[in-house]
C-alpha cells in the first residue's frame, strides 16, 4: 500500500489482509482439533487452508498425520511426498513414507523411500534402523520367490518361515508368507499340509484368489472333487 496507494491496490490489499486473518483463525482451529484428536475436523480445516497455501510443507505434514490417524495411508503418502519436495532435506517425510509402505506390506517401495532418507543423511538413526530391517526382509522374499521359480519348494518354504521370524509384528507379511508356503506345499505334493495352511489364510482373507487356487489344487491331489 505504501509503494502504490491507488484505489484498486488498496482493495486488493484489504481483501488479502482479511483472507490472511481468516486463514490464521482456521489454522488455530485446525491445531486445536488435532490436539483434541478430532482428526476429521482438522482435515476439513486444513483442506481449506491448503487450497490457498498450496506450498506449505508443515501444513501438509500435519494433514498427513491426521490421515494416518484416520486410517487413510494413501492420502498421507500423497501429502508427505509433496512435503518431501517442498522442504529441503526432509528426512522425516521420507522416513514416514517408508514406514507407511512397510506397514502396508509394500517392502520394495518402503526400501526405495528409506534409501532417499539415507541419501540426505547417512547417519539418520531411525532411517538406518528401518533400512536394515526392510533390506533383510526384502532379500528373504526375493530369495524365496527365486526358489519357487526354480521349483525348489522345500528351500522356498524354509525361506518364507524366516520371513515370519524377521517380521512377526506386521500381520500382512505372515499372511503372505503362509499363502506362498501353501503354494509350495501344493506344488510339492503335500496336500494335507497345503489344505490346512491355505484354510488359515482364507480365514483371514476369504477372497484370496491365490489361496483358493492352491487349496483347489491340493483337494485335487486328495481326490476331493466336490471341495
When pLDDT is averaged across residues 85-102 and rounded to a whole number, the result is 96
Please choose, from the candidates 111, 105, 110, the residue with its C-alpha nearest in 3D space to the C-alpha of residue 172: 105
pLDDT of residue 5 exceeding 80, the answer is: no
Instruction: Give the confidence band of 15 by pLDDT, cuts at 50, 70, 90.
Output: confident
pLDDT of residue 192 exceeding 80, the answer is: yes
pLDDT of residue 9 exceeding 90, the answer is: no
Q: Where are the alpha helices (DSSP H) in 53-124?
A: 57-69, 73-86, 91-103, 107-120
pLDDT at 8: 76
Cell representation of residue 122:
547417512
Domains of the chain: 151-226 (1.25.40)
Cell representation of residue 207:
477372497
Q: For 112-143, write each residue's pLDDT tens digit.
A: 999 999 999 999 999 999 999 999 999 999 99
pLDDT at 7: 74
Provide the 10 A C-beta neighbour count for residue 46: 27
When pLDDT is averaged across residues 46-55 and rounded to a whole number, the result is 95
Report how far apart the first and last C-alpha atoms of the chain are (Å, whole number).
Answer: 81
Q: How high is the mean pLDDT of the chain?
A: 95
pLDDT of residue 60 exceeding 90, the answer is: yes
Q: How far is CA 78 from CA 68, 92, 209, in A?
A: 11, 14, 29
Q: For 78-92, write each residue's pLDDT tens digit.
A: 999 999 999 999 999
When pLDDT is averaged across residues 188-201 and rounded to a whole number, the result is 96
pLDDT at 14: 84
pLDDT of residue 3 exceeding 80, the answer is: no
Judged by DSSP in three states, 107 sits in helix
d(CA 222, CA 195): 10
Provide the 10 A C-beta neighbour count for residue 82: 20
Amino acid at each position: 500500500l505504501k509503494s502504490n496507494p491507488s484505489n484498486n491496490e488498496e482493495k486488493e490489499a484489504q481483501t488479502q489482509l482479511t483472507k490472511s486473518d481468516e486463514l490464521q483463525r482456521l489454522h488455530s482451529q485446525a491445531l486445536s482439533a488435532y490436539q483434541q484428536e478430532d482428526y476429521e475436523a482438522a482435515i476439513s480445516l486444513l483442506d481449506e487452508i491448503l487450497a490457498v497455501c498450496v506450498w506449505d510443507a508443515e501444513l501438509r505434514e500435519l494433514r498427513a498425520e491426521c490421515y494416518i490417524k484416520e486410517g487413510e495411508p494413501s492420502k498421507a503418502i500423497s501429502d508427505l511426498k509433496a512435503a518431501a519436495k517442498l522442504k529441503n532435506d526432509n528426512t522425516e517425510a521420507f522416513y514416514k513414507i517408508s514406514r507407511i509402505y512397510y506397514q502396508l506390506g509394500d517392502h520394495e517401495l518402503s526400501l526405495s523411500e528409506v534409501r532417499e532418507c539415507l541419501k540426505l543423511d547417512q547417519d539418520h538413526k531411525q532411517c538406518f534402523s528401518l533400512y536394515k530391517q526392510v533390506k533383510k526382509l526384502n532379500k528373504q522374499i526375493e530369495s524365496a520367490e527365486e526358489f519357487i521359480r526354480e521349483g525348489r519348494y522345500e528351500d522356498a518354504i524354509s525361506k518364507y518361515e524366516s520371513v515370519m521370524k524377521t517380521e512377526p509384528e506386521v500381520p500382512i507379511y505372515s499372511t503372505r508368507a503362509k499363502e506362498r508356503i501353501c503354494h509350495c506345499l501344493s506344488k510339492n505334493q503335500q496336500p494335507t499340509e497345503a489344505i490346512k495352511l491355505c484354510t488359515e489364510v482364507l480365514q483371514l482373507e476369504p477372497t484370496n484368489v491365490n489361496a483358493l487356487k492352491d487349496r483347489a489344487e491340493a483337494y485335487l491331489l486328495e481326490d476331493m472333487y466336490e471341495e
